[in-house]
Amino acid sequence: MYGPMRFGPILKREFYARDTLEVSRELLGKVLVHGTTAGMIVETEAYPGGDDLASHSSRGITPRTRVIFGPPGHAYVYFIYGMYQCLNLVCEPDGKAGCVLVRALEPVAGIPIMKSRRASARKVEDLASGPGKLTLALAIGPQQNGVDVTRGSLVVREPAEKRKFEIRVGPRIGISQCVDRPLRFFVAGNRSVSGGKAVNGF
């Protein structure tokens, strides 16, 4: 690599101001950057709101879910299972709910720092191979809830060079409602995708 932050342009707000499923699919292969750490997005899930009871926003606007109804291109970070944070990116036009859960990254930059934050990870591919793991690896927490991801220290960029990959689709992980909707998207065969062989078929 020629420099630690040599990526393409930041994704603009118009990228996010679209259908949640479309954005979920197109985020694969983009690079999530926070400070000096970065990873390529290899797994996402769509949470379109409305009648999708698995979506936090399906029960309406609350203090927690307010950001999901706000302008696109912002981060929705929530606390789960008493110890982890999950990162979502808000989609759809302002006023309409919809967000994408970023579920896994392939580490690209700042790997030594990520290792220090993820002492239990044995391999580089496991540093950010899950929604709770990637927020630890990139030090994303409640401070980032509501921030604009089209400018500032937490952004999504085009990759330095585009790679070809096959996209697979399946049911979302860890939910109890709407379990049959195929709203999980991942890069086929990528070692950083969460879940392993049983879930992903490789």
Partner DNA sequence: GGTAGGATGGGCT
Partner DNA sequence: GCCCATCCTACCC
Span 14-73, contacts to DNA by CB under 7 A: 45, 47, 54-57, 59, 62-65, 68
Does position 174 interact with DNA (CB under 7 A)? The reply is yes
In 3D space, the residue among 68, 27, 178, 22 whose CA is nearest the CA of residue 76 turns out to be 68
Part in contact with DNA (CB under 7 A); list of ranges 13-21, 23-31, 115-123, 182-190: 115-123
Does position 130 interact with DNA (CB under 7 A)? The reply is yes
Find the binder of DNA among 188, 196, 201, 202 (CB under 7 A).
Answer: 196
CA distance linking residue 173 with residue 171, whole number of Å? 7
Q: What are residue 55's DSSP bridge partners?
A: none
In 3D space, the residue among 182, 154, 180, 163 whose CA is nearest the CA of residue 76 turns out to be 154
The helix (H) or strand (E) run that includes residue 113 is helix 111-117
Q: Which residues bind DNA (CB under 7 A)?
A: 45, 47, 54-57, 59, 62-65, 68, 76, 79-84, 86, 88, 99, 101, 118, 120-121, 130-134, 172-177, 194, 196-198
